[in-house]
Structure 1
Amino acid sequence: MSISPARRVAYGVLRAVHDGDAYANLLLPSRIRQARLSPADAALATELSYGALRMQGYDDRVIALAAGRPVEKIDPEVLDALRLGVRQLLGMRVPAHAAVDESVSLVTAAGRKRATGFANGVLRTVSRSTPDQWRARVLAGLDGDELLAAESAHPTWVVEAFRAALAAEDAAAELPELLAADNVAPRVALVALPGLAEPAELGAPGGVSPVAAASPGGDPAALPPIASGRARVQDEGSQLAALALSRARPISPGERWLDLCAGPGGKAALLAAEARLGGAVLEANELIPARAGLVRRALEVFDPPPVVHEGDAVAFGRDHPGEYDRILLDAPCTGLGALRRRPEARWRKQPSDLAELVPLQAALLDAAVVALGPGGLLAYVTCSPHPAETREQVAAVLGRHPGLRAVDTPAVLAGIATRDLGLPASPSAQLWPHRHGTDAMFIQLLRAA
């Protein structure tokens, strides 16, 4: 049986993710363009790729039961074909014969012809039971967070972290809703850079950001404002994080702003547009040369473009004491708040990652405080709701710097957002996919003495 172009693309993406540590959200669009897929096939390739990666933990449990062996004992090339087949059988409206036959053909095309009988047997076994029957088998004997983790295809430690973050708002009961939201493809959000474009040029208004628009569909790069660099694809949570810093108070001409960890440059571009309108000057810093190049490209639309420094952010902050009026610290983090858009991330991250990230975040915060001038504003932002990366970091930095004060960030956002965000009373703001339609972005404004 021939293999459809969409399934070839999806399989190629899975292999690149699992064999080459590729990022699906970056790789898939280029693979779709290279294969010249029709809009219908592009949508199928996207649903297949993202669905198989998001639901990998759940589907692997099904595969292990159907195969009678752990998935670690299955050749990776065969396993990825099985994952695509199982996702079609259990989560998509695809005829069973097409899901089975084309997945087996992928095994042959991958050079694993001797495994075709095994793959066919596994998928036929899966096809003989309903999704509800498989769900009962997968969840048998599980309870609590382990059951939620298995059912929602999240690692248990991530579920526990989400529970703790929601519990801090007395909202632990929302955990199933949050996990479900993580498994729904987010709508594509666009940002019109202020002074360069208007949201009305891009599509329907966004959900919460005043400079956002909802993508009308298709390739966003085909829209003239995006093609010219006057608008970008950007999650609305990221937009609000940048706007919280730029619109927390009026801009005084001549202010110096800094995006301390700027790569890949999305927030830097929005800040640069805001600074330009208010007569401020933005600078950016990025450690990794390739990412610094992305920042420069993101800022090319401005004349002259902001200066982009390359180097360690901790050293940069310490070397520029008291020089900046506003600083954005979008800190390196686990990225648990963006699992909707980065489907493979939930399986790559480990609790041990926090052991490296938490001290780094603390060092970056200290460096940013050093670089902040008297009365200056610092926005500490993470795309993670994990308490160790959010509230605990803020409490610790306030303890280390007695002159630093927490700004009522929900109040600032209330004056920016296009609708009531329903944020609880707290100095910090935690956005959520299931409440706000954004990534789970954490934002805390801090003010120097």
Structure 2
Amino acid sequence: MKRSPETRDKAVDPARAAARDTLRAVRERDAYANLVLPKMLRERRITGRDAALATELTYGTARAQGLLDAVIVAAANRPVDEIDGAVLDVLRLGAYQLLRTRIGAHAAVSTSVDLIRSEMGMGPAGFVNAVLRKISQRDEDLWVDQLAPSIADDLVGNLAFRYAHPRWIADVFADALGGSAGQLQAALAADDERPPVHLVARPGMITAEELALASGGDVGRYSPYCVYLPGGDPGDLDAVRDGWAGVQDEGSQLVGRAVTVADVTDDSGRWLDMCAGPGGKAALVAAIADIDGARLDAVEVSDHRADLIRKVVADLPVDVHVADARASGLAPGYDRILLDAPCSGLGSLRRRPEARWRRTPADVAELVVLQRELLTEALRLLRPGGVVVYSTCSPHPAETTEVIADVLGQHPEVEQIDARQLVPADHLGDGPHVQLWPHIHGTDAMFLAALRR
């Protein structure tokens, strides 16, 4: 029986309660942890070490869900769909603490029991106590050895389980990495870690060096606009509050920069961002356009996301259009077009911890159709001598090289140029496209290709 709101959570740890409630929102409402948790921390005035603990527990538990569920099933001797959702949230949270943190077993179990007792009483609390005590008898490696497919019989399956990825995603990574087991293990391991926060210093407003000094961070390895934030809330920085800087993965910065440095003939200053929401890349491209005397059209199909773009590009030379980019009504003749196409997001799983358990192969098939249509329209809007940069936050060949090959086959007047010349990074492979990786470049797994008409 659930307790009344007046008696709930009086004896529970606020950081763990916030983590539990965020996990519940993810499970019940398909919410995004990185949107729910920061708001919850502010509303509950959870700061400092408690906020850091809540963040680690929330994102870590969401990221490792598949592995945790397998362990819970083994310890509870029942499938997860037969466990009450509220109980399962707490079991996942407790199992994560036991297997993947340095939190003591007694603290991990007792605080989890407190969480469920505060809501549901002694019966479910006893079940949580029994399951977590059984889980605590082995460490993560021993559970993996017991539950994962054997390396000899199924290496990819073993690695997928060990690094908490659905098997089909591990297969995609293996394909994109050319079948190298060592590269696959490194990619999955990097994807299974909490990533650092990357800041972007918007050109003409603040330099990366100035932002690094103000934030206490380090200038990025590749993007001339990137700063690695060592910790803390980026929203507390004056430069972020004033709109001079933002939070943006270095790989995304490299994509935005690429379209501005590509060689075009007689640039007239007509630039286009076809799928611009929520505005991070548009803001970077527009800041550079402002310096170069160009103007950016930013297209976004969603009213809400278009409003986000308007906020982030205020005072920059940008015209925001709410339209389907496949039929925007804009006149052809653009010099530079950025098409950061809607995709599966398999390249940013480390920053969206619950996403790996939501996506399915069927999602990719639907997206590929959209990606081809968008790229075809981008080429129609491009003038002779202009360049389209096509990008996805995915290494899936179906969304990357296969889309490029298919569209190029229908447009003999278009050539693919070497995108490696547009990206100031090393280990970029054989080209002509660029595929970034967390384990190689420390970025999201961004793909980009450059096409000239």
The two structures have a TM-score, normalised by structure 1, of: 0.94
SS state of the match for residue 28, structure 1? helix
SS state of the match for residue 249, structure 1? coil
- The answer (yes or no) to whether the contact 1:253–1:279 under 8 Å persists in 2 is no
Name the residue aligned to 1:245.
Answer: 259
Name the residue aligned to 1:9.
Answer: 18
Report the alpha carbon displacement of residue 253 of structure 1 after superposing the two structures with TM: 6.3
Name the residue aligned to 2:312.
Answer: 298
Name the residue aligned to 1:137.
Answer: 146
| 2:448 is equivalent to residue 406 of structure 1 | no
- Choose from 128, 148, 161 the match for 2:172: 161
- Choose from 82, 89, 97 the match for 1:80: 89
The amino acid of 1:150's aligned partner reads F
Deviations 1:334-379 (A, max 9, x none): 0000011000000000001012101000000111111111111101
Report the alpha carbon displacement of residue 113 of structure 1 after superposing the two structures with TM: 4.6
Counterpart Cα distance in 1 of 2:154 and 2:348: 26
SS state of the match for residue 36, structure 2? helix
The amino acid of 1:361's aligned partner reads Q
Report the alpha carbon displacement of residue 265 of structure 1 after superposing the two structures with TM: 0.3
Counterpart Cα distance in 2 of 1:364 and 1:230: 31
Report the alpha carbon displacement of residue 111 of structure 1 after superposing the two structures with TM: 3.1
Name the residue aligned to 2:106.
Answer: 97
- Choose from 303, 320, 324 the match for 1:289: 303
Q: 1:54 to 1:251 in 2, by over 3 A?
A: farther
Report the alpha carbon displacement of residue 108 of structure 1 after superposing the two structures with TM: 2.3
Counterpart Cα distance in 2 of 1:121 and 1:172: 38
Counterpart Cα distance in 2 of 1:62 and 1:442: 35
- Where do 1:335-354 residues align within 5 Å? 335-354=345-364
- Where do 1:219-368 residues align within 5 Å? 219-249=233-263, 254-302=268-316, 305-316=317-328, 319-368=329-378
Name the residue aligned to 1:421.
Answer: 426
SS state of the match for residue 124, structure 1? helix
Structure 1, 98-107 or 328-337: larger mean CA deviation: 98-107
Report the alpha carbon displacement of residue 171 of structure 1 after superposing the two structures with TM: 4.6
- The answer (yes or no) to whether the contact 1:252–1:280 under 8 Å persists in 2 is no
- The answer (yes or no) to whether the contact 2:116–2:125 under 8 Å persists in 1 is yes
- The answer (yes or no) to whether the contact 2:419–2:449 under 8 Å persists in 1 is yes
Report the alpha carbon displacement of residue 104 of structure 1 after superposing the two structures with TM: 1.5
Counterpart Cα distance in 2 of 1:391 and 1:36: 47
Counterpart Cα distance in 1 of 2:401 and 2:199: 29
- Choose from 97, 122, 131 the match for 1:122: 131
Q: 1:440 to 1:72 in 2, by over 3 A?
A: same
The amino acid of 1:228's aligned partner reads D
- The answer (yes or no) to whether the contact 1:236–1:438 under 8 Å persists in 2 is yes
Q: 1:374 to 1:106 in 2, by over 3 A?
A: same
- Choose from 390, 393, 402 the match for 2:400: 390
Counterpart Cα distance in 1 of 2:11 and 2:408: 62
SS state of the match for residue 153, structure 1? coil
Q: Which consecutive segments of 4 or more residues in structure 1 shift more than 4 A?
A: 250-253
Structure 1, 371-380 or 22-31: larger mean CA deviation: 22-31
SS state of the match for residue 335, structure 2? strand
SS state of the match for residue 341, structure 1? coil
SS state of the match for residue 393, structure 1? helix
Q: Percent identity?
A: 50
- Choose from 204, 208, 213 the match for 2:227: 213
Deviations 1:189-243 (A, max 9, x none): 1111111111122222112111111114211112111110011110000000011
- Choose from 184, 189, 194 the match for 2:198: 189
SS state of the match for residue 361, structure 2? coil
Counterpart Cα distance in 1 of 2:221 and 2:144: 34
- The answer (yes or no) to whether the contact 1:251–1:278 under 8 Å persists in 2 is no
Counterpart Cα distance in 2 of 1:352 and 1:209: 34
Name the residue aligned to 1:37.
Answer: 46
Report the alpha carbon displacement of residue 114 of structure 1 after superposing the two structures with TM: 3.0
Question: Is there any run of 5+ residues in structure 1 with no aligned partner, and where?
Answer: none
SS state of the match for residue 350, structure 2? coil
Name the residue aligned to 2:6.
Answer: none
Q: 1:253 to 1:140 in 2, by over 3 A?
A: closer
The amino acid of 1:342's aligned partner reads R
Q: CA RMSD in A?
A: 1.6
The amino acid of 2:417's aligned partner reads V
Question: Is there any run of 5+ residues in structure 2 with no aligned partner, and where?
Answer: 1-9, 213-217
Report the alpha carbon displacement of residue 151 of structure 1 after superposing the two structures with TM: 1.1
The amino acid of 1:207's aligned partner reads R
In the comparison of the two structures, how many residue pairs are matched?
437
| 2:160 is equivalent to residue 149 of structure 1 | yes
- The answer (yes or no) to whether the contact 2:16–2:54 under 8 Å persists in 1 is yes
